[in-house]
Amino acid sequence: MNYKCVVQYEGTRYQGWQRQDSTENTLQGKIEAILTKMCDKKVEIQASGRTDAGVHALGQVMNFHIETEKSPEEIMAYLNQYLPEDVAVISIEIVSERFHSRLNARRKTYCYRVLNSTIPHIFERRYVYQLEKVMDGMQIANMQRAADHLVGTHDFKAFTSTKKSRKSTVRTIEKLQIEKVGDELQFTYIGNGFLYHMVRIITGTLLEVGMGEKSERDIPVILEAGLRERAGALAPAKGLTLMNVEY
């Protein structure tokens, strides 16, 4: 049977999603270990994408093929019994054998949260990047105009940390919206897929626009050049959350 699961996690203490030989402290590794124990047979899982170390998820999707007499509800209960307290499976269902959580994903939504205040928010500190230089409405509007240049289908080679790859760096961003919510600036990204570090580099670049270090007119030039060094800094991982994945 092929099972589709939705997983939530706080990524603070993990070395990202992807299993690694050098550490057992990955989300994929921990979940696979529990399923392997349950089935008494090696289980491999596929995820919609590989979140970086420190990145969080409200709606990561994964799937795996296993043979078991347990119901989906019993599998979910088993996983949650043994998963750490900062990881939880929130739904599970049997799907078509052909379903693949990454290959079949059509749209992903990410949110990057910036605490734009000189005063720390203690209970949110693991989920926001604090930027003490407070921006006014005009600066936020400048960032939004810069963001508008990135909406649509473009080659985002300048906005990824991957240095050399034969894979296409063309992606489509359907929505890139910046909203002020209380003391926060929330950057919402909706697109068909995102490159390694893409959301964090775009966020860092837009923040530089807001602070006057770059202009909105620089964005088309950066896209055209396709050079990582032309774009802005990599925003910290802790401000980023994968919100949901659509199929």
Residues that are catalytic: 52
Specify which residues 187 forms β-bridges with. Answer: 112, 178
| Pair 89, 6: CB distance under 8 Å | yes
Nearest to 105 by CA among 48, 170, 168: 48
DSSP secondary structure of 39-60: HTS----EES--PPTT-EEEEE
Which residues contact residue 9 at a Cβ distance below 8 angstroms, ignoring those fewer than 6 apart? 27, 56, 57, 60, 86, 87, 88
**Alpha-carbon distances, residue 68 vs 35, 74, 80, 88, 192 (angstroms):** 11, 10, 17, 21, 33
